[in-house]
Every structure is written in C-alpha cells, then in structure tokens.
Amino acid sequence: MAHFLLTPVGSSGDVHPFVGIGRALRTRGHDVTMLTAEPFRRASEGAGLRFVATQSQEDFDRLTKNPDLWHSQRGLTLVLRTLALYMRDHYARIVEAYEPGRTVLVGHALSLTARVFEEIHRAPAATVHLAPSIFRSDYQQPAPIPDVDISGLPVWLKRSMWWLLDRWLIDRHILPEFNRWRRELGLAPVSRVFKEWLHSPRRVIGLFPGWFAPIQPDWPPQLLLTGFPLYDEPDEHALSPGLRAFLDRGAPPILFTPGSANRLASPFFAAALDASRRLGRRALFLTTYPEQLPATLGTDAWHELYVPFSHVLPRCAAIVHHGGIGTCAQGLAAGVPQLTMPMGFDQPDNTARLWRLGVARWVRPPKFRGDRVAKEMAALLGDSEVSERCAHWARAIRRSNALSETCAALEALAPSSRDSAAAGRSPTR
C-alpha cells in the first residue's frame, strides 16, 4: 500500500480532478493526503482523504475577490505573485506529510513546490496537467484567442513569442523570489520555468483524451494521456427538491455558470437572463455567490449554489460558461452544445478545441450581451450537425475510464517494498 500526496493549486476546476483521483486511489487500497486550500477540506475529507491546508479561507477569498484574477494578462501575474508568496510554507507542508520510501508526489502544473521537492529528494513523482494549453510546441500551438491559430507561423517566430511571454509575463513575476528560495535550498537558479522545468522527468499525465488534443512530436516523451476524470462529487450532492421540481415542470433549461471562483459575474448573469428570455428558454444559474444574480429571476429561471454537472447537464439543452477545462469536459460527456465566454488562462485554447470538435461557439467578454448570447445560442441549438457531433464525443468519453488509467500510471511510480525497507528518515529541508 502506497501513500499518494496530491498538491493541486487553484479553484474547484483544478481541485476536483485531484479529489477524484485521490478517491479512486483510496478505493484501490492506498493512503492519500490532499494538500490544497482550506475551502476544499470538506470535499477532500468527504472522499476519505487526509487533508492539509496550504491556504486559509481568508487568503483564498482575498485572491478570488481581486478583479485582476479574470483579466486576460493580469490574472496570470496575480497567480504567479501569489505562488511566490506561499511557496516556502507549501514546501514545509510537503516535508511534514512526505513518508520516504512510501510516498508518491502528484503535482499540479502550478505546484512548483512539489517539483522542487522532487528535484531535491529524487522523490517518485508525476506532474498532472488538466488542460493541453500548458504544453508548448513548434507544431500545433495553444490558441491565444479562440479564432486565432498561430500554428502555421514560422518556427523561429513561434519560439520568439514564447520567449517574450516568459520574459515579460511569467519569469519577471516568479523568478526573483523563486530563485532566491532555490539558493537557500542549495539549488541552481532556473529560467523559463514553464517551458520544460515544470514537467516531472519521471511521469507527466494529461487529463484529457488525444482526440481533444493530439500529442505533438515535441511534447514531453514521458507524457501519458488518460482522459477527462469528470469527478464532481456526484455521491455528495443530490438534486434539491426545488431544482428537481423546476426541471420536471418544463422544457430542458440552458445552464449558465461563469466559473466556481468568479465573484465578478453580475454582467454575465444579467446577459444570461436577457438571452434566455429572448430565446423563450428556461435558465438554470449556478454560482456560489448569489449576490451577483439579477434581483428578480422570474418563474423560468432557477438558481443553485452547487450541483454536480453529471446530475443536471443531461437534463439541460445547452451550457454557457467560461471555458474552464472541467466544465468543457462535463459538457462533452453530457452531449450538449456549449457557448463560452473565455477570459484567460486555458479558456481560449479549450474553446478553440471545442469549436474544432463541432460542439461550441464563443462570445468575447466585451460582447457578452443578451442579444449576442441569444443569437449564438440559437445558432447552436438549431444546428443538427452540432447535435450529432455532441452525441459522437459523448460516446467517445463513455468508452474510456480516465480515473482507472490515471491511478494505474501513478501506482507504477510507487516505491517497492524493498525500497521502503531501505528508506531513511524524513527529509528536513
């Protein structure tokens, strides 16, 4: 029996897949510890995982309340500066939880502390990436804007663009403090941490299928694609009586959700309500911050704080969302058309991939108004080819078992019993 130490960083869309992996590992007889922010304690402990908080509820709220978080460029800057602020403390939590000869580290793309620990102690580890936009290539490029494909540009120009991104948007915000800390640990400085360094040299796992993002020739050779995990706490939440009655008394609604951590979505929901009325469609709003909803929803709209997509999406006509990878995957699994409002991070690239699959359209944030949303949604719902493509990809997802394949890949990294017997004392760095 091995011990798996999971270190996701981010919102529900980042943490839920790791909870699903941890729960599956527990079912297979292993011990699992989750290191992440305090808001995810209940979900983690509900799945039978030991929980260690790396960020308080107050600090998490402070980050999600910052309006820069949803800016296409300033959002990444804010996240990087936050990572630099907490990395020493996160590393100390890993040191305390790690059991030599028994523990496998399972790191998130932003869990730089897990990579540092692996580097120092040569710990068995894997880096888990939720979305394909993290991978750089001289071939197919992540889309910076859904309708802009830069893959055909000359290789020298694509490499120059990545260099500029590293130099001016990433390294300047993370490297000074990161390399200062590395010197304290006796490590050499690094540069362009998001180019290659962030990938574990032992195993990289992509939680998406190859038909969503085909492996490129220059992606890490240690990469394994296992598929969408689709975990959303299905056993922990039942449909409320009110929601069940709402779904039963009328036509399938359009589901609107701007992202679990989005506290600045009042314009999104105002446009959503306007669009649904223009279409003559019912609407289901999901947000844990109800203060951003319109004052009056009427009888054809319903709000829930949280409900597993797997419970409700099969009963919806479509979904409108921010383009986060977890929501994209759930929409594909349910076989419903998707309309996105991509703001930053992986969202534009995810949206572009949905569009290539023939299941989605998008509206840029400045144009996300009721009339435009209604127009795009009407086009999606009225296109029989979109419906056929949605059904096709839903069948493709049902043919795989991503959680099982992910667990098998992680178990292959577990130290043998002989290694366990020879292991020394716990690291102190």
Q: Is residue 91 part of a domain?
A: yes
What was the pLDDT predicted at 243? 95
Asked whether residue 408 falls in the same domain as residue 392, the answer is no
Output the average pLDDT for the chain: 91
Over residues 414-427, mean pLDDT? 50
Q: If you average pLDDT over residues 324-344, what whole number do you get?
A: 95
Question: Does residue 246 sit in the same domain as residue 212?
Answer: no
* Cα separation, 196 vs 204, whole angstroms: 11
Tell whether the model's pLDDT for residue 427 goes beyond 60: no
pLDDT category at 264 given cuts 50, 70, 90 is: confident
Lowest mean per-residue pLDDT among 34-38, 65-69, 213-217, 262-266 = 65-69
Same structural domain for residues 58 and 204?
yes
Mean pLDDT of 181-197: 92
Domain assignment present for residue 163? The answer is yes
Domain match, 18 and 147 both: yes
Give the strand order in the sheet containing 31-37: 50-55, 31-37, 3-7, 103-108, 125-129, 204-206, 223-225
| Residues 332 and 222 occupy one common structural domain | no
Give 418's pLDDT tier (boundaries 50, 70, 90).
very low
pLDDT digits (tens, 9 = 90+) for 160-171: 999 998 888 888
The whole-number average pLDDT for the span 233-249 is 87
What's the total number of domains in the chain? 2
On the question of pLDDT at 415 being above 70, the answer is yes
Residue 209 lies in a domain: yes
Same domain for 254 and 386: yes
- List, for residues 347-370, the tens digit of each pLDDT value: 999 999 999 999 999 999 999 999
Predicted confidence (pLDDT) at residue 4 exceeds the cutoff of 60: yes
Q: Are residues 185 and 293 in the same domain?
A: no
Q: Are residues 205 and 325 in the same domain?
A: no
pLDDT band at 236 (very low <50, low <70, confident <90, very high): confident
In a domain, 233, yes or no: no
- Please indicate, yes or no, whether residues 333 and 193 belong to a single structural domain of this protein: no
410 and 388, same structural domain?
no
Q: Which CATH number covers residue 291?
A: 3.40.50.2000
Lowest mean pLDDT across 21-35, 342-356, 357-371, 409-423:
409-423
pLDDT the model gives residue 72: 64
**CA-to-CA separations, 123 to 82, 83, 311, 333, in angstroms, rounded:** 25, 22, 39, 35
Residue 235 located in a structural domain: no
254 & 123 share domain: no
pLDDT at 62: 84
CB 407 within 8 A of CB 22: no
Q: Decide if 135 is inside a domain.
A: yes
99 within domain boundaries: yes
Residue 428 included in any domain: no
Top pLDDT among 131 and 166 is at 131
Q: What is the C-alpha R_g of the chain?
A: 22
List, for residues 46-66, the tens digit of each pLDDT value: 999 999 999 888 888 888 788
Say if residue 350 is exposed, middle or buried (CB neighbours under 10 Å; 0-12, 13-18, 19+): buried
What is the pLDDT at residue 417? Answer: 43
Region 223-233 average pLDDT:
92
pLDDT score, position 69 = 75
Range of the domain at 264: 241-398
Do 91 and 187 belong to one domain?
yes
Residue that the structure tokens 């006509």 belong to: 317
Question: Cα–Cα distances in Å, from 117 out to 88, 94, 185, 188, 190?
Answer: 11, 8, 10, 14, 15
> Residue 294 has which token pair?
């319109």
